[in-house]
Amino acid sequence: MRLIEHFLSIQGEGLHPGRPAYFVRFARCNLSCVWCDSTYSFGKGASVSLRRVARSIRKSRAEFVCLTGGEPLLHLPDCLRLIRRFPRLHFDVETGGSLDIRPVQKKNTSVIMDWKLEHSGMTSRMRPANLRALRPSSDLLKLVTDFSSAEVRQIRRLLAETERSRVRVSLQPVYGVDPRRMTEWAVARRDPRIQVNLQIHKIIWGPDRRGV
């Protein structure tokens, strides 16, 4: 596997914030978001055996494993090998929304799909079929936003488009953006699908520390 790093920490966002999780950060990304906070993962990474990573996961005793990047779906065979290796653990697969998510939608997985809004510069690269594929009981539509007027309009459209599927939606401010206005807007929507996520690992350790 081509990895940037793998480590035990807490999940800072998504469906299980604050819970211990083992992170497997894959190398390379097919997108280049303006606000990306992990550009160090764009490189080729290092070759790490699945056996070594599996041993570290077992030693960690974590119940959650997070496959992230970069873009983990660029390494689909390795992702599936890990998921099959640990059928009793739950895997969060953090993906950018431009690649087909269906191959990693398994009984023990949640897809955390980071759908790119206007400020990212990557919204044209999104794969519309992925919105229809999201599972309401398992997956999460993640929207990282600067909460500009243009992005609020996009968020409204996405909420309307996914209303029938009832998939959960996470609103997350771009790091450094005051979350209060976004949070008050989310509460006023009275939509039980919406959750607000702050990156609590950054609150604890700061924005520049890796391996947390």
Q: To 5 degrees, how large is the angle CA 177–CA 116–CA 148?
A: 40
Buried b (16+ CB within 10 A) or exposed e, 142-158: bbbbbbeeebbebbeeb
* Alpha-carbon gap, residue 73 to 48, rounded angstroms: 17
What number is the average pLDDT over the span 146-161? 97
Q: Which is it for strands 140-145 and 109-114: parallel, antiparallel or unpaired? A: parallel
Tokens 């690649």 belong to 99
Give the mean pLDDT of the chain. Answer: 96
Domains and CATH numbers, the chain: 2-205 (3.20.20.70)
CA distance 91 to 63: 9
Site of tokens 């391996």 = 211
Give pLDDT tens digits for 82-141. 999 999 999 999 999 999 999 999 999 999 999 999 999 999 999 999 999 999 999 999
The strand pair at 90-95 and 109-114 is best described as parallel
Q: CB–CB of 33/121 below 8 Å?
A: yes
Q: What's the whole-model pTM score?
A: 0.95
Which amino acid is it at 46?
A: A
More confident residue, 55 or 41: 55
Q: In whole angstroms, give the CA distance from residue 159 to residue 162.
A: 5
